[in-house]
Amino acid sequence: MPEAEDLEPEVIHHDEHLLIIHKPPGLPTTAPTRTEPCLANWVRERFPGLRAHATSRLDSQVSGLVTFALSGDANRNLLDARRAGTYDRVYMGITIREVSQDQGTWAWPISIDPQNPKRRMAGPGRGEREAVTRYEVAARTAAATLLRLWPQTGRTHQLRVHAAKAGVPLFGDPLYHGERRKVLPQGSVVTARRVMLHCARVSFPSPSPSPSPSRSPGSAPAQRMRLEAPARPDMIRVWQALGGELSDLQP
């Protein structure tokens, strides 16, 4: 499990339209009841009376930015941005496998694993949906590769499934064939206690665009919001133990 220093949510942005939280690993985004620990319940306790709808969901083990819409208009704005392809997310992921190409696109459809309904698989099957991920190598060491990942769609476990199908499962992800331990040549052991995946940046049109003096209010382009969250301490320690630099983890 992540250490205590990694487990506290952090408010990154809060205005009348949006609340954006840096979710720690080990905390689900949502839960079936209001009594179970999850980020949505943390928001309810932290901001009594605030009507906050999670417009994105990170797996429990994944850290990074989660966006809550605070109004119907803000929620529609984000939905429209997703449909238009103007909602951008950048993830950082670690694999201890060799990545042959420096960049590319994974476009396998994702379906429900018939052996485990909580697991997904790349390829045709029940609940099959189109899924597209762009990737590039952000840094390499002798022991691992750091990937920069852009999901073009938002399917359950998409990045984890695509990485596994590509033969480069994420470090700390045994559900999708990723190793938890790496023995280095000098004999030291690096252990990943959770999936080494982090949502480091989100960018989308602002829910409250500023009109341009040269345009009518109805035609003014929306300004973009861009928010970033640094990798959690546990992921930093793992990457540095694998020979990487802190600066590599910048999105």
pLDDT band for position 251 (cuts 50, 70, 90): confident
| Residue 5 burial (10 A CB sphere; 0-12, 13-18, 19+) | exposed
Helix (H) or strand (E) holding 68: strand 63-69
Strand partners, 225: 204
Tell me how far apart the alpha carbons of residues 54 and 64 are, in angstroms, rounded to a whole number.
14
Q: Are 232 and 84 in contact (CB under 8 A)?
A: no
3-state helix, strand, coil in the chain (%, to 5): 20, 30, 50
Backbone angles phi, psi at 212, to 5 degrees: -90, 140
> Would you place residue 172 in the very low, low, confident or very high pLDDT band (cuts 50, 70, 90)?
very high
In this predicted structure, the answer to whether residue 19 has a pLDDT above a threshold of 70 is yes
Q: Note whether 143 and 243 are within 8 A (CB).
A: yes
What does the DSSP 8-state code read for residue 66? E
The answer to whether the beta carbons of residues 24 and 11 sit under 8 Å apart is no
- At 52-97, the pLDDT tens digits run 999 989 999 999 999 999 999 999 999 999 999 999 999 999 999 9
Report the distance separating Cα 248 and Cα 179, nearest Å.
21
Predicted confidence at residue 126, as pLDDT, reads 96
- Percent of the chain past pLDDT 70, that is, above it, reads 92
Q: How many Å apart are CA 37 and CA 25, to the nearest integer?
A: 12
Q: What are the boundaries of each domain within the chain?
A: 4-249
Give the per-residue SS3 of 96-107.
CCCCCCCEEEEC
Is residue 161 within 8 Å of residue 114, measured between CB atoms?
no
Contact 113, 208 (CB under 8 A): no
Mean pLDDT to the nearest integer, 165-173: 98
Phi, psi (degrees; rounded to nearest 5) at 43:
-65, -45
| Contact by Cβ (8 Å): 63, 24 | yes
For 43, the token pair is 């928001």
Digit-coded pLDDT (tens) for 220-235: 556 999 999 999 999 9
- For residue 1, pLDDT beyond 70: no
Q: Where are the alpha helices (DSSP H) in 29-176?
A: 39-46, 72-84, 158-165
Q: What is the pTM of this model?
A: 0.91
- The architecture (CATH level 2) of 4-249 comes to 2-Layer Sandwich (3.30)
